[in-house]
Homo-oligomer: A and B are copies of this chain.
Amino acid sequence: MAKPKLDRKTLLRNSLSVFKTMGYNGTSMNDLAKANGLLKGSMYHYIESKESLMLEVLTALRDHYVSRVFNKAFDETLQPYQRLKELALRAEEIFVFEEGGDFLVNIGLETKNSVPAFTQVIKSFFQEWINTMKYLYSFVLDEADAKEKAEFIVAEIEGSVLMMKLLDDVNYLHRTNERLLKEYKELERQKVYK
């Protein structure tokens, strides 16, 4: 009976799936336990508290994005435009199909005034994202413009994802990405002519 061990990754993935559909306050320890094939008391064999579990989920998600998605921006075997395209593609997959998506925003808003520990991780995710975009745009814009552009683009994508969810319209994000890519190409062209 001490064999079928639940490994950490599975625990986090199962828990994320529940948190994602019910939110933080909307999810009970019972829900989490069920999703992991355990009774609620047994969950405490793996975790210290509901809050610490969520914090671990958030952190894992952020680290995943940083090391598996954002890092594409620094892949020197690709042209800058191709890197942006890779990022856009991955973002579309993530937000439209995968578990996770705009999860970080949802939880960030829901717990903003009650669990500061969450806010910190979520903030750092967005900072990382903005920095990634800033780097990519530094190829076609000067420092200050690249920064502003990066901040604006992250907001733009998040807004699209949001409307996509609220209005059940899957095209939102795709159109936004297409617009961004087209615009980037135009910026590259202008840069060359200068």
Q: Is A159 an interface residue (CB 8 A)?
A: yes
Please state if B113 and A167 are interface contacts (CB–CB under 8 Å). no
Are B158 and A162 interface neighbours, CB within 8 A? yes
Q: How many copies does the complex hold?
A: 2
Q: A159-B155, A172-B151 are in contact. Are A165 and B22 (CB under 8 A)?
A: no
Which residues from chain A sit less than 8 Å from chain B, CB to CB?
A: 21-23, 25-26, 102, 105-106, 108-114, 119, 122-123, 126-127, 148, 151-152, 154-160, 162-163, 165-167, 172, 175-176, 179
**Contact A158 B163, CB 8 Å, known A25-B26, A106-B109:** yes
Residues of B within 8 A of A160 (CB): 155, 159
Given contacts A113-B22, A159-B162, contact A152 B167 (CB under 8 A): no
B162 & A109 in contact (Cβ 8 Å cutoff):
yes
Tell me if A122 and B166 are in contact (CB < 8 A).
yes
A176: chain B residues at CB < 8 Å are 152, 155
Q: CB-CB < 8 A to A166: which residues of B?
A: 105, 108-109, 112, 119, 122-123, 126
17 contacts between A and B (CB under 8 A): A22-B114, A23-B25, A23-B109, A25-B26, A102-B109, A105-B109, A109-B109, A109-B110, A109-B165, A119-B166, A122-B166, A126-B163, A126-B167, A152-B179, A155-B156, A155-B159, A158-B162
